[in-house]
Amino acid sequence: MDNTAIFEKMPVPKAVRTMAIPTVISQLIVLIYNMADTFFIGRTNNPYMVAGASLILPIFNISLSISGLAGIGGGTLVSRLLGEKQTEEIKKVYSFSIYISTFIAALFAIGVLIFMRPLMTLLGADSDTYRFASGYAFCVIVCGGIPTVLSNTLSALLRSVGESRKAGFGITMGGLINIALDPLFMFVLFPNGMEIIGAGVATCLSNCIACAYFITMLAKMRKKSVLRLCPPSKLPMPKSIASVFCVGLPSAIATLLFDLDYVVIDKLMSGYGAAALAAVGIVLKAERLPLNVGIGICQGMVPIAAYNFSAKNFDRMNKTKRYSCLLGLFFAALSVVTYEIFAGHIMGFFIDDAATVTLGTGFLRARCLATPLMFLSFFHVYLFNSFGKGGYALFLGVMRWAVFNIPMLFILNHFIGMIGIVWSQFTADILTVLLSFAVYKYFETYKLRVCD
């Protein structure tokens, strides 16, 4: 399937939209089905159940970082190899990415099962929330880990060769099935008190269906596409394996640090009571809407930028970068206005508990102000990933989370308490954005045009 027109000839705004729109839609559906669990669990008006589900978000995101290792690492390399017309190497990189993501996902699922209790305790679970959190984790992470990771890996690999519509459709389909199955499993098939298990089973089953779609689609495409599965013995060149991990590992580490930030937020907020923990859990999901739109735009941008970087068409690459950045900032600004106006209504939509709604309204209005800064931060990380420059992406990721965000959580919590936890993101991301522009300016000035 020849999609080179998207990478080489199509006007940049149209090319970015062609790649980004299906990805943005799929990202929004993923967000909706993640929030659907919280919404339906919130209908129980049980803050312990909502808090238990919220505690699993960092672990779920860690599992997705595995797909980032193979999907982003392998996918960006596939796009660059397309720019270099290395068809045979693409097949080997594609196969290697699938095998490595499946293997690591299996190890992670087994690890969560073995260390369930200490892991839940580390995340802040107590006697009231442990049984809810552990049951949800068993369904979503232990049973559903491999299909979840493999679906996201295959989606990224499809997107890397310009098949953004097929990639987006698979993720969207899985999300819609999850939304449909949630109320069925929670309120019809499972008894009272086990709604969270019903939500977990629905999520697991929907990810299995999505994974089956991707496997079937790729099997049908194999005669026309460069994405063909090779035996595990046919490894890519050492240089290609190094490139997969050079980009994939920094991406996974950045995701892990992002999740560690969520773990710290949950841990610190759990000291202020179940209502505060439930409120911040809802806010962290609500703020993902503009974040997921931004991620979708970046994921649409990456294959085009990677292809043209490899083909040394720097003018088209820079046009792609500028248009994608402006598009992301527009949606970020729109979300700030929306959340400031409707914060109370958004919180009330998820849970009918006055204390939780009151706290969450203030939390959301403060956290949403960081949205444009957050977009600019991860935009630069995606940009460096598209160039295959994982070292720059890793540096920015480590600085953002390990040096700025996480220490800021402890500092502001110590001095101004619960409100400090909420404002830490805005404060830290000002520093992150300044650093990101400085690093990219250095790369553009001294490194870009001499890259191999």
Written as one letter, the residue type at 74 is G
Is the model's pLDDT at 257 over the cut of 50?
yes
72-102: string of b/e by CB count within 10 Å (b at 16+)? bbbbbbbbbbbbeebeebbbbbbbbbbebbb
Per-residue pLDDT tens for 359-377?
888 888 888 898 999 999 9
Check whether 97 has a pLDDT greater than 80.
yes
3-class secondary structure, 431: helix
Most confident of 13-22, 32-41, 123-132, 191-200: 13-22
What pLDDT is attached to residue 450? 46
Confidence of residue 452 (pLDDT cuts 50, 70, 90): very low
Q: For the chain, what is the mean pLDDT? A: 84
Flag whether the pTM goes above 0.85: no
Please answer whether residues 357 and 417 qualify as being in contact, where contact means their C-beta atoms are separated by less than 8 angstroms: no
Q: Please report how the helices 87-114 and 57-83 are oriented relative to each other, as an axis angle in degrees rounded to 10.
A: 170
Report the distance separating Cα 292 and Cα 299, nearest Å: 10
Q: Would you place residue 2 in the very low, low, confident or very high pLDDT band (cuts 50, 70, 90)? A: low
Q: What is the pLDDT of residues 279-312, one digit of tens each?
A: 887 888 788 888 888 988 998 898 898 888 888 8
Q: What does each C-alpha distance from 430 to 44, 78, 140, 192, 341 come to in angstroms?
A: 39, 34, 35, 46, 23
Only one residue has tokens 């009231």, namely: 128
Cα torsion through 400, 402, 406, 408, rounded to 10: -70
Is the C-alpha dihedral spanning 409, 413, 418, 424 positive or negative?
negative
pLDDT digits (tens, 9 = 90+) for 311-338: 888 889 899 999 999 999 999 999 999 9
Q: Under a CB-based contact definition with an 8 Å cutoff, are residues 156 and 76 in contact?
A: no
**CB-count burial class (<10 Å; 0-12, 13-18, 19+) for 238:** exposed
Contact indicator for 305, 356 with CB cutoff of 8 Å: no
Domain ranges of the chain: 13-450
Residue 409's nearest CA partner among 430, 429, 423 is: 423
